[in-house]
Amino acid sequence: MKAYFGRRYMLSASHRLHSEALSAEENRAAYGKCNNPHGHGHNYGLEVLVGGPVDPQIGMVVDLAALDEAVRARVIDRFDHMNLNLEPYFKNRIPTTENLCRAVYDLLKGALPAGQLESVRVEETENNFFECKAE
C-alpha cells in the first residue's frame, strides 16, 4: 500500500535578488527590497515528502535516519548559514525561493532511492511558500 511520509527541516541563508539581464532600475522595479545590494536573509522552512510502499516489517515507507542524513548532507550542510548568491548552484540562477526549491528537489532526487521523492516545499516566510514535484 503506497503512503507518504513528510519531514520538516529548517535552514537559514541570505540572498539578493538581482538579474544581470536587467538594468539597475529594472532590478529595483522587479525585486523591490529584495534587490538591496547587501542582501538579506530568511529562515527557510523545508518540507520533504517521500512516497512508497509501507514495509510491513517496520510499518514505514522510509528509513527516517537515512532521509535525515540525505537532507543534512545534500541540502542543510550546503545552504545553511550561507550566502546563496555565492553558491556555485546559483552562479547562473537567481536565488529566488522558486529556484531554491528546485535545487533542493534536484539534490534530494539524486540522493534518495529512485521514485521515492514526491515533492519539496520551501517556505520563505510564514506567508509564502513554493513547491516542486515531479511533472
Size of the site for other proteins (CB under 8 A): 17
Question: Is 10 or 73 the residue whose CB approaches other proteins more closely?
Answer: 10
- Exposed, middle or buried, 58 (CB in 10 Å: 0-12/13-18/19+)? exposed
Q: Which of 21, 58, 114, 134 binds other proteins (CB under 8 A)?
A: 58
- Per-residue binding string, other proteins, 13-52, x by CB under 8 A, is ------------------------------------x---
Pairing of strands 117-125, 82-83: unpaired
Where does the chain show beta strands of DSSP type E?
Answer: 2-15, 40-53, 82-83, 117-125, 128-133
Residues that bind other proteins (CB under 8 A): 1-9, 49, 54, 57-61, 64
